[in-house]
Structures are given as C-alpha cells and as structure tokens.
C-alpha cells in the first residue's frame, strides 16, 4: 500500500495540518511502486516498471472513456471543477509550495497557485472549441481537417514552479482529449501529489491523469523513451532538453515541446521611469527562481549613475526581508537545495576570479538553510561565465551601454532566448527593441508577468513550441486532412 505524509503548519501566515498520499497515482488509485523505493519525506519512487503500468492505464482511458469518446463540453466541465477545487484549497497548495521549494508563501499563493487556477479555467473554456476547417478543392470532393489528440502523452515539470507548470501542461493536454503521465520533480513532488486527490474529487475518469514520482535518469528516461507515448512536454534545463530530443529521435520520434533555460536581458533606457524600472528589475531577478529571470541588466549611460544607487538600496531592503518563507513580510526565500546553493555560490566565486566586482551580496544570508543574499555584480563583460550561463539564483550583472543598436546586439549575444524586459517611455523605441530582441516573450515597463491567454516559449536554446494561449492547443493536437469523394 502507498503511504502518507502529514505536515503540521503553525506559522504566522498559515496554520493547519495537511496529509498527502505519497504513493504513485495510477488509474485514480494510490499504489506503491513495484520496487518499493522512496525519496524525500518517504515519497514513493517509481521505476520503468511503474511507467509501463501508468502508460497502460493512460492508453485504456484514452480509448475507452476520454479522447474522442468524451465530449469537449464534458472535459471543460471537469477542468472547471478542478480549478474551483484548487481555489478552495489555495492556502494548502501555497503552504506545500513554500515547504517544497522555499518560495515565499504570499508569492506562491498569488503567483503560482493563482496562476494555476486561472490557467486551468482558461483551458476549460477551450475544451469544446477544438475546431478544424473545410477546404475547397473541387466540386467532386468534400475536404476538411480535424484536430485530434495524440493519445497518451508525457509531461515532465521542474522544481521552482511545480504547481504552475503542471497547469500549463495539464490544461491544454486534457482540454484537447489527451491522457497524461506526469512526472513531477523529485525535489518538489508534494503539490502534484496533492493535486491528484482533487483530480479524483473533480470526477476525472481513472487513467486520465497518472503521476509517477522518481528520478530523471530513471523515471524521466523511461517515459521519454517509452514506445507507446507519442508526445513529451518538458520544462527544465537545456542540457536535459537535448537528452529528451535525442531520446525521441532514438525511439519512436515523439513530438517534443521544450521550455528550457534563459539568460534574459533587462534593458533600461535613459528615458525610463527610474522608480518603476528599479522595482521591476528587482522583481525580475532577485525575488524569484525563474527561467525567465532578467539576470543581465543593461543600463544606458545617461542614467547609470542614478540607477545603480537606487537599485542597490532596493537590494539592501530586499536582503532585510530575506528569510522564512512563512514569515510576515518575507520577500525572498532560500534556494531549493544544497546542490543549487553550492552551484549559485560557485558562479559568484568564479565571477570574482575573473575580475567581477560584488557591489552587494555575494554571500550566505544567516547561518542556517540555503539562503543567499541578493547579489549585484558589476565590472563584467559578455565573455564571462556569469553573463553566458544560467545561474538560477538571486544574482544579476549590471552592464552599461550607449546606444539602442549596441544594446540590441548585446541583448542578443546569448544562446538563450526566453524573455526580455524593456524599460522606456518612448513607444516607438519599445516596439523597435522588443521586435529586435530574440526572445519568445518581451515585457515592456513590466517583468515576467504571464497570462494564460498569451503564448509563452523560447527562441534558440530556450525551447521549442509554445505553452499558454490558443497556440498551445496546436502542440497537443495533430491535424488530419479528410477527403470525401462526392463524384463517381
């Protein structure tokens, strides 16, 4: 039998006791893994044998009760009910996200959990609007297209925003009639396991959603290589994304969508609203573990000497609000693990060895936990490791620029292309620069605020395909052309 994990929260922002099933969720039942392994807080760890069982359940559900046998209207009702149940339990999900990841409780509730609710509701509305078109050819033929689901698919999600990312995939996948085998991050599985109980409560048929916990090299590899799964949606590092693509090529040519790493530029022009730019630039890198983090901050020379002390002051204030994710007024929490803490600190030390200057931060915050002081680094150039590789921590570099043409070239001088943040009061410039920067998303006078209706994804090494919006529906369906002979 699968076990449970109970955590009692007695914090200033949330009090309560949450019990979570810690097994594998297959066919709407909690089951123990075939080989009986466990990981963090005794969460069950699956193997390729459990993946086979989950895939079979997903296939049976697709053929018999979901897919083309369940109307879009019914799928929409179930998704809408799921969103309502998440909203009911929003505090519990936020507490688990803070416990799991170290994300500040208030940020988790407003951003991750609130975003998940909005996303699933958005796709509930799309479920009965998956439409093809008629195509005129000749009088002797009636032709049209159908947008059909792939069947059983796989979703792999990252640790920083487990609840949010799961909704980005489950929403469009289920709305279009696919069944899902979901692998949550082994570092942060709790919100996915909590979600499973709500999937049952909402009334989804057995096998429509299955969750197999486990390590990437075992469960992740098994589902990516599985010969009967036809699509994989992966969010994570570019290194692992390459492995996912290779596994697809080496096995059954799964359709692959990837949302990968980033090294987003934040570009602040002389004519920007300085207070707004400081606030959003801080939010865009120092308060979040996010793939879109605006870690390369380019400041035009006319305001550089004004921006730097204001940004340093904002960072000092943020440092004072660093601490317990469940604390009142906390704005910045810890890294997710010792490994990630060491990795971020390694980047800082490497930067110092290359001659970069630590303006503020660059060290552990406090004596316990994986807290890193928000860090500003100057005296850098685009050849440094600090400015080339994704750090995934509260670390940013500041680079001065002169002209619009120069900053566009520097902003694009990266293998990544996930997001960009542009601050200017000149509308023409905002449009020119956002068009010229090679990134899947551009935010003007704001940073990293997504919307379920707007597509999200990357250029270059930051990914393939799009999530969110109507565009995501295309990545979860395949188009069939139908030709009907009307003549002899």
CATH of the domain at 150: 3.40.605.10
Same domain for 281 and 199, yes or no, is no
Residue 487 covered by a domain: no
pLDDT grade, residue 17 (50/70/90)? very high
Statement: residue 291 has pLDDT above 90: no
Domain assignment present for residue 488? The answer is: no
Q: pLDDT digits over 127-178, tens only?
A: 999 999 999 999 999 999 999 999 999 888 766 556 677 899 999 999 999 9
Q: How far apart are CA 46 and CA 14, in angstroms?
A: 32
* Residues 106 and 248 both lie in one domain: yes
Tokens of 234: 């992966």
Domain range for 278 is 265-451
Are 172 and 316 part of one and the same domain? no
Q: At what angle do helices 90-101 and 72-88 cross, to 10 degrees?
A: 70
255 and 307 in a single domain? The answer is no
Decide which of 353 and 187 is more confident. 353
Based on the fold, state whether residues 277 and 360 are members of the same structural domain: yes
In this structure, the answer to whether residues 251 and 289 fall within a common structural domain is: no
| Structure confidence at residue 451 as a pLDDT band (50, 70, 90) | very high
Q: Are residues 164 and 38 in the same domain?
A: yes
For the record, the structure tokens of 473 come out as 């529906």
Q: Which residue has the tokens 């000092």?
A: 316
Between CA 153 and CA 479 the distance in angstroms is 16
What's the burial of 77, exposed, middle or buried (CB within 10 Å: 0-12/13-18/19+)?
middle
CA distance 467 to 158: 15
409 located within any domain:
yes
Residue 40 has pLDDT above 80, yes or no: no
Interatomic CA distance for residues 206 and 199, integer angstroms:
9
**Looking at the 3D structure of the chain, how many domains does it have?**
2
φ, ψ of residue 264 in degrees (nearest 5) = -70, 135
pLDDT at 288 over 90: no
Range 71-96 average pLDDT: 96
Q: Does residue 1 surpass a pLDDT of 60?
A: no
**What is the three-class DSSP state of 267?**
strand
Residues 173, 210 contacting (CB under 8 angstroms): no
- CA dist 94 and 109 (Å) reads 5
165 & 132 share domain: yes
Q: Is 457 a domain residue?
A: no
Q: How does the average pLDDT of the chain come out, rounded? A: 93
In a domain, 296, yes or no: yes
CATH code at position 280: 3.40.309.10
Q: Is the pLDDT of residue 430 over 90?
A: yes
- Does residue 393 sit in the same domain as residue 470? no
Q: How many CB atoms neighbour CB 42 within 10 A?
A: 11
Q: Average the pLDDT over 232-238 and give the result.
A: 91
User: Does residue 81 sit within a domain?
Assistant: yes
The average pLDDT across 73-99 equals: 96
Contacts of 70 (CB under 8 A, 6+ apart): 177, 205
Q: Would you state the pLDDT for residue 216?
A: 86
Residues 249 and 354 in one domain: no
Separation CA 253–CA 232 (nearest Å): 10
CA–CA gap between residue 133 and residue 444 (Å, rounded): 36
Tell me, yes or no, whether 277 and 399 share the same domain. yes
Pairing between β-strand 463-464 and β-strand 255-259 as defined by DSSP bridges: antiparallel
Does residue 456 form part of some domain? no
Identify whether 21 is part of a domain.
yes
Does residue 102 contact residue 334 with C-beta atoms inside 8 Å? Answer: yes
Return the active site residues: 259
Least confident of 33-37, 46-50, 151-155, 254-258: 33-37
Residues 71 and 180 in one domain: yes
């Amino acid at each position: 039998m699968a076990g449970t994990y109970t955590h009692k929260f007695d914090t200033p922002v949330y009090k309560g006791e949450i019990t979570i099933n810690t097994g594998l969720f297959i066919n709407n039942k909690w089951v123990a893994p075939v080989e009986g392994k466990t990981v963090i807080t005794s969460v069950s760890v699956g193997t390729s044998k459990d993946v086979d069982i989950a895939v079979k359940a997903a296939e049976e559900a697709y053929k018999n009760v979901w897919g083309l046998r369940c109307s879009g209207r019914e799928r929409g009702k179930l998704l809408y009910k799921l969103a309502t149940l998440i909203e009911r339990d929003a505090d519990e999900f936020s507490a688990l996200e803070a416990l799991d990841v170290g994300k500040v409780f208030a940020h988790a509730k407003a951003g991750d959990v609130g975003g998940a609710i909005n996303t699933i509701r958005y796709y509930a509305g799309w479920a009965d609007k998956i439409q093809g078109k008629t195509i005129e050819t000749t009088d002797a033929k009636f032709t049209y297209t159908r947008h059909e689901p792939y069947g059983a698919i796989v979703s792999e999600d990252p640790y920083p925003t487990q609840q949010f990312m799961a909704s980005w995939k489950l929403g469009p996948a289920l709305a279009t009639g696919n069944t899902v085998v979901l692998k949550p991050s082994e570092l942060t599985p709790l919100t996915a396991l909590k979600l499973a109980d709500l999937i049952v409560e909402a009334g989804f048929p057995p096998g429509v959603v299955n969750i197999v916990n486990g390590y990437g090299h075992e469960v992740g590899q098994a589902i990516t290589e599985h010969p009967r799964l036809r699509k994989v949606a992966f969010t994570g590092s570019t290194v692992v994304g390459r492995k996912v693509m290779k596994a697809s090529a080496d096995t059954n040519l799964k359709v692959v969508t990837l949302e990968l790493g980033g090294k987003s530029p934040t570009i602040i022009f002389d004519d920007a609203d300085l207070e707004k730019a400081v606030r959003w630039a801080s939010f865009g890198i120092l308060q979040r573990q996010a793939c879109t983090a605006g870690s390369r901050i380019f400041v035009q020379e006319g305001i550089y000497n004004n921006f730097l002390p204001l940004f340093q002051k904002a960072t000092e204030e943020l440092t004072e609000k660093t601490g317990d994710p469940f604390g009142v007024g906390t704005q910045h929490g810890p890294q997710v693990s010792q490994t990630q803490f060491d990795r971020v600190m390694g980047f800082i030390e490497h930067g110092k060895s290359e001659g970069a200057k630590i303006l503020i931060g660059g060290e552990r915050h406090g004596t316990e936990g994986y807290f890193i002081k928000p860090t500003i680094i100057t005296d850098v150039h685009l050849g440094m490791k600090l400015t080339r590789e994704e750090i995934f921590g509260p670390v940013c570099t500041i680079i001065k620029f002169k002209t619009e043409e120069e900053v566009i070239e520097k902003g694009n001088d990266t293998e990544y292309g996930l997001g960009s943040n542009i601050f200017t009061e000149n509308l023409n410039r905002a449009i020119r620069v956002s068009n010229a920067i090679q990134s899947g998303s551009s935010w003007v006078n704001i940073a990293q605020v997504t919307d379920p209706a707007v597509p999200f994804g990357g250029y270059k090494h930051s990914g393939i395909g799009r999530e969110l919006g109507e565009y995501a529906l295309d990545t979860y369906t395949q188009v069939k052309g139908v030709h009907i002979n009307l003549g002899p």
